[in-house]
Amino acid sequence: MTRSVGILGTGSYVPERVLTNHDLEKMVDTSDEWIVTRTGIRERRIADEHTASSDLAYEAAVRALKKSGISAEELDLILVATVTPDMFFPSTACLLQDRLGAKKAAAFDLSAACPGFIYGLATGAQFIASGLYRYVLVIGVETLSKITDWKDRNTCVLFGDGAGAAVLGPVEDGAGFLSFVLGADGSGKDHLYIPAGGSRKPATCETVEANEHTLRMNGREVFKFAVRVMNSATDEAIEKAGITREDIDLLVPHQANLRIIDAAVEKLGLSSEKVVVNLDRYGNMSSASIPVALDEAWEEGRIHGGDHLLFVAFGAGLTWGATVLKWSESIAPSQAKK
């Protein structure tokens, strides 16, 4: 017999520094109009040179634990989804475990790019549903500014830094996660990747000089893939959950491109009031996009007990993920804003 698993609390954190489109106009051949028209992004947050992913993750984790009423000492597992870890090893999750004082928690990182948070939710939920663990902290965090080529006008306008967290635990029967859809297509690996730095092409003076430690993207192919998989993954997640499109109370999509989000919203037939969009302020934060948007939606009083939430994301790999969550009636609405 499995237990129902839901989100008990959320938290988020973004760096203070704001990089606007007008700032980028001074750095590369671009314009505010061009960026907004093609992406919907107006500004993004950038971590300073002394701030690592674990620093952002810690701030988001503290906030999520406070809202959930769960202490760090009660955590059984910490799972960090990121493609920008502090270092190859130890894992960012282990660094966070020590800083939080979560002494009994196991910890590991998960690499699935932009859908990483959904992959993390699916993984953490299974530990709780099986009875092995009770409380799991899942974090999506990125410092993409550290791996961005700031001379490439096609990619440097897209990305930002941030962290979002969720504490998972048992909830009443009928609530919690109703479905998960995870997928991958490795044949698209060359559409979004970093050429050097791994075992295939270790760091050398030549790779550094060639700037091969920053991300590369085939925007046209990623866009086509994203529109297609957003539709197929959402339909599959809704069907597996045993609900209809009309039952969706809030869509929390990956914040990559406003045109992609608009296409998904039109397909689902949702009103703008049922969609969370914050990419205009943060850009694409990869695995942090959905948890940050989710936390802001909760803080704004947009989530209530019994609501059906749909998360969907796509990213490098190529990978994708979607989940339907029925918000627990026992989780009180945020007191921050009404």
Q: Which residues are catalytic?
A: 114, 254, 284
Q: Output the 3-class SS for the chain.
A: CCCCEEEEEEEEECCCCEEEHHHHHCCCCCCHHHHHHHHCCCEEECCCCCCCHHHHHHHHHHHHHHHHCCCHHHCCEEEEECCCCCCCCCCHHHHHHHHHCCCCCEEEEECCCCCHHHHHHHHHHHHHHCCCCCCEEEEEEEEHHHHCCCCCCCCCCCECEEEEEEEEEECCCCCEEEEEEEEECHHHHHHEECCCCCCCCCCCHHHHHCCCCCCEECHHHHHHHHHHHHHHHHHHHHHHHCCCHHHCCEEEECCCCHHHHHHHHHHHCCCHHHECCCHHHHCECHHHHHHHHHHHHHHCCCCCCCCEEEEEEEECCCEEEEEEEECCCCCCCCCCCC
Q: Enter the tokens of residue 186.
A: 């490795």
Are 96 and 298 in contact by the 8 Å Cβ rule? The answer is no
